[in-house]
Structure 1
Amino acid sequence: MSLGNQIATHLPYLRRYARALTGSQEAGDALVRTMLEKVLSDPSGAAALAGGRVPLYRTFSRVWADAQPEDKGASVSGGEHEAGAQLRLGAITPPGRQALLLTTLEDFTLAEAAAILERDVVEVEQLVADAVAGIEREQKTSVLVIEDEPLIAMQLEDLVAGLGHTISATAATRTQAREAVAERMPGLVLADIQLADGSSGLDAVEDILSLGSVPVIFITAYPERLLTGDRPEPTYLVTKPFQEATVRAAISQALFFRSSQPLG
């Protein structure tokens, strides 16, 4: 397989990682473009990517590190999610966010994450632990679960409750989701794509977002339907069958990058 094809295979997931890391599709894609431009302008750098996902993410990690402001207390521009995140930078460092996402959302081992971040395994393990602790000190919220499989819905409800959040409602169809939001706007939405009556979780989420800004995590067996680059893509996308640690990390990141408005 050519280097271009190798990169293309991993690119949708690198873009997902970049969005989750920055809290913004625009900011994440800009960093990915910067990385690709550097690689394409340096033959030796391009050759270093031939090893697969780890060297690709390591190269991106270096670009991300270079882009971080020296003054971590400086204001952040670019949107409400970035501004909201800046208010919480004292709770979790950028390396902590990287370590957490790499080992959960991207499913790298601790050893692989250490290679990407160019740190030792013990340090990465501590970064993950500190990141989880820092985020879980944040304000709790109410969660709407849009899921038509009862066992998965129950699993998500138990996970959410275990994190200290409350369930505002559980919906199996777009109509039920609309009715739930009419009664109470949640602070976070977990949504499947294919729902019980043939309706779409995407449409249900669009209904919700037309009423107000709320972070959304899509949980689906068909991530390729969303990671196309043809339309705005979700920042938080978890693939079924999922690991609970992955959902937990996605919830933590979504709440970390929420706007500064009070949660529901």
Structure 2
Amino acid sequence: MSQADLSSEIGAALPFLRRYARALTGAQSTGDQYAAATLEAVLADRSILEDTSSYKVGLFQVFHGIWVTTGAPVTEETSGPRAAAQRHLSKLTTNSREALLLHTIEEFTISEVGEVMQIGSDESEALIETARQEMADGMSGRVLIIEDEAIIAMDLESIVADLGHRVTGVARTRDGAVKLGQQETPDLILADIQLADNSSGVDAVNDLLRELGERPVIFITAFPERLLTGEKPEPAFLISKPYSEEQVRSAISQAMFFSSTETLRA
């Protein structure tokens, strides 16, 4: 592959590496620091990608090497949602959350997860199942769904309920979302980007966060790369349309577990 083609492949994978990094750390700034360190390592020696099954797998593999070498840290907090998240993190089986995110959110196969983490497929599969069980254990809350398509909204309601959470309401517009949020404070917001009256789910979420304070948010969009440009604040949790049930389940568990978010302003 030519130098130009390699740069193109890395450029295409980089937004998704940044998404993964933010999901691990819960914050855009910390996640981007890890993504930047990964890119620097690859630019210093591009040969480290040559023995991997794909350049995307190789990029994530380099990231994982840096992540585990630094002890997979998050910024130390003494109070608030990040401190609570750290207490939860200390109880997780090593590498299980990483394996789950790689498989369900980034859509790597079991074998690719093993390649990224440099472990066997059996071990990567076991880690994924362990993460599902540990992250769901004893965690439940109230979920506000902002989605204008009735069928999708019903599907999301079913997934949320199956996970043991309660839906506080379904909003089809920005104003409707704010009204529902005021009536009952959600623990998690699950939001589409484009709403029924051409209002913005991003604006609805920012309205709610200003009024209700910090809480986890999952955005849904058919074009996630448009929100992962690095040019402005970005969501910590983002899934793509069309989505799979497993992606939504994983994102909800992850967001509830690591209860922090970055606002996204249009």
TM-score by length of 2: 0.90
Contact 2:49 2:59 in 1 (8 A): no
**Alignment match, 2:97:** 97
Quick one: distance in 2 between partners of 1:257 and 1:43? 33
Contact 2:38 2:59 in 1 (8 A): no
Shift of 1:48: 5.5
Contact 1:142 1:165 in 2 (8 A): yes
Q: Structure 1: which 5+ residue stretches go unaligned? A: 260-264
The secondary structure found in structure 2 opposite 1:218 is strand
RMSD of the alignment, in Å? 2.1
Say if 1:75 and 1:14 are closer, same or farther in 2 by CA, change over 3 A. closer
**Alignment match, 2:219:** 218
**Alignment match, 1:45:** 48
> Cα deviations across residues 53-95 of structure 1 (Å, max 9, x unaligned)?
11111111101111116xx9x9824995542221102442341
Deviates more, 1:162-171 or 1:136-145: 136-145
Shift of 1:138: 3.4
The secondary structure found in structure 1 opposite 2:108 is coil
Contact 2:139 2:257 in 1 (8 A): no
Quick one: distance in 1 between partners of 2:225 and 2:40? 25
The secondary structure found in structure 1 opposite 2:247 is helix
Shift of 1:245: 0.3
Identity, % of aligned pairs? 45
**Alignment match, 1:234:** 235
Contact 2:146 2:192 in 1 (8 A): yes
Aligned length: 256
The secondary structure found in structure 2 opposite 1:2 is helix
Shift of 1:196: 0.5
**Alignment match, 2:258:** 257
Letter in 2 for 1:222: F
**Alignment match, 1:58:** 61
What is the aligned counterpart of 2:29 among 26, 32, 49?
A: 26
Shift of 1:50: 9.1
Deviates more, 1:191-200 or 1:39-48: 39-48
Deviates more, 1:78-87 or 1:172-181: 78-87
Q: Structure 2: which 5+ residue stretches go unaligned? A: 261-266
> 5 Å matches for 1:152-231?
152-211=152-211, 212-231=213-232
Say if 1:130 and 1:46 are closer, same or farther in 2 by CA, change over 3 A. closer
Contact 1:3 1:49 in 2 (8 A): no
Contact 1:24 1:82 in 2 (8 A): no
**Alignment match, 2:263:** none
Say if 1:47 and 1:77 are closer, same or farther in 2 by CA, change over 3 A. farther
TM-score by length of 1: 0.91
The secondary structure found in structure 1 opposite 2:88 is coil
Shift of 1:185: 1.1
**Alignment match, 2:264:** none
Runs (4+) off by over 4 Å? 46-50, 77-81
